[in-house]
Amino acid sequence: MLPVLTADALRTAEQAHWDEHPGDDLMGRAAAEVARHATEMLGDGPRPVVLVAAGPGSNAGDALHAMALLPPQLGAVVRIWPVRGRTHREGLDAALAAGAQVIGFEEAAELLARTDLLVDGIAGLGSRPLDGEAARLARAAHAQRVRVLSVDLPSGLRADAADAPEDAFRAERTVTFIAPKLCHVAAPAALLCGDVRRATLDVDPGETTTHQAAASDLPAWYPMPQASSQKYTRGLIGLETGSARYPGAAVLGAAGALFTGTGMVRHPGEAGAAVVSRFPSVVAAGGRVQAWTCGSGWDVEDPAARAAHLDRLAELIGEGRPMVLDAGALDLIAEVPPLPEGCLLTPHAGELARLLGREREDVEADPLGAAREAAARTGASVLLKGTVQAAADPDGRVVLAVRGPAWTAQAGSGDVLAGSAGALLAAGLPASRAGVLAASLQAVAATRSPGPIPPDRLATTFPEVIASWEDELVRTGDRSPDEQAPRGVRPS
């Protein structure tokens, strides 16, 4: 997993590095990385035109020193627009000595039509929404499809926020330093960062409570079956989902559980017949289970149905098994006994806002903070669904799931996700790990099969993703080929 730092944590890491290595030239190494990526993006074109939008701080210093490091044979024509009328002095001197020239805003705006690469060095950790001429240049660059290389983060974004102001730069590539920040990994801000390249600069990021799951983490997290596995050891998941009004939610949850690879699914509720008609392997009766998924498709608006769901939720809590609480169950938490250990809540922003007694806009402005607050209040792990998908533990640790395409933003995706997470919970995964893995599985599947695929159809592609994870474990030596398929007895 990648550490994700706040702006303050990154400044602390930098200061700790300088305390241990006085005088170390971090800006020189950062500039070298910017120059390398700029050279790579420019390719072999004759005398490319590079426009640098330079702010007043060290972010501009990285960009300007990088211009002095471009290969002479590139023959780049470099023009610098100091956004505030001033910029990093040493960086500017280095760029001018290498042949760059300073221009004003009007000339910079006219130059966009001939610009091969715009290096955005306006603001870094202290970035805030742009205004004035900087905002005009960002809008014009986007309208004219100018290729943008952002230094640390696209100017106009905030390092510690996931929102994407309209006037922020839209980068084709972003070179960030030491560790990514929230804007690099959480949509919609991350969508403006383009291809994010991390340059560690040999600086220890230090301890952090926030991490980003990587696709390479997922194979080792998945509970692969062993030679001795049978249905009772692979996980028995019980579903208390769906209702007479919303039977489809139960079917979708069963699809999520089955195609995630659970050993057995039980559905003793009123939607059990609908589930069995679609998936005959599901047992429409009570019995032994190792975890529950409940709440998806519950009709909590009807008073009689709400009362029945409330009684059933209290009964399940009394069993003391791990649970995934989704949709309708989230609206009943305040009316039931404390949750058993190892539970996972799966709200979207609106549901999380109701749970916390806040406005949806507050949750969307600080999604990780809201998830942390809910986890601390309830004692359960909380997987926030939506453009930002992240699981928070009661101790404050947060892991962001692998990002997927916006195609999964459709009715029923959450029902599939709840069933998938429940299957992983029944297999023995900790609650937050089950949530992050289920969300990441859905994201990877949607990335491999893009387009308007209904959630139940997308779930049928989960086995292909899981099989690829198993192949990867075999390739890296972390799983024996014999565990994939026994070789049998062969002649000597």
- 88 is known to lie in a ligand binding site: no
DSSP 337: P
Helix axes 247-260, 431-448, angle to 10 degrees: 90
**Nearest in space to 297 (alpha carbons), one of 253, 335, 264, 334:** 253
Peptide linkage before 188 cis (omega within 30 of 0): yes
> Around Cβ 194, how many Cβ atoms within 10 Å?
18
In the structure encoding, which two tokens stand for residue 349, read together? 């922003």
Q: Is the dihedral of CA 262, 267, 273, 275 positive or negative?
A: negative
Give the start-end residues of each E strand in 69-132. Answer: 77-82, 101-102, 117-121
- 415 is known to lie in a ligand binding site: yes
In the structure encoding, which two tokens stand for residue 284, read together? 């429409």
Coil vs helix vs strand at 246: coil
In the structure encoding, which two tokens stand for residue 331, read together? 């609206």
Token look-up 């995964």 returns 429
| Residues 291, 321 contacting (CB under 8 angstroms) | yes
Token look-up 């749970």 returns 355
Token look-up 């008073």 returns 303
Alpha helix ranges (H) inside 388-454: 413-426, 431-448
Distance of CA 231 to the CA centre of its chain: 32
Helix axes 89-97, 58-68, angle to 10 degrees: 10
Helix axes 26-42, 7-20, angle to 10 degrees: 120
> Around Cβ 405, how many Cβ atoms within 10 Å?
12
Residues found in the chain: 492
In the structure encoding, which two tokens stand for residue 135, read together? 């905002």
Backbone phi, psi, residue 188, to 5°: -85, -10
Distance CA 126, CA 132 (A): 17
- 104 is known to lie in a ligand binding site: no
* Binding site per annotation, positions for AMP: 414
* Binding site per annotation, positions for (6S)-NADPHX: 249, 297, 348, 415
* Binding site per annotation, positions: 249, 297, 348, 414-415
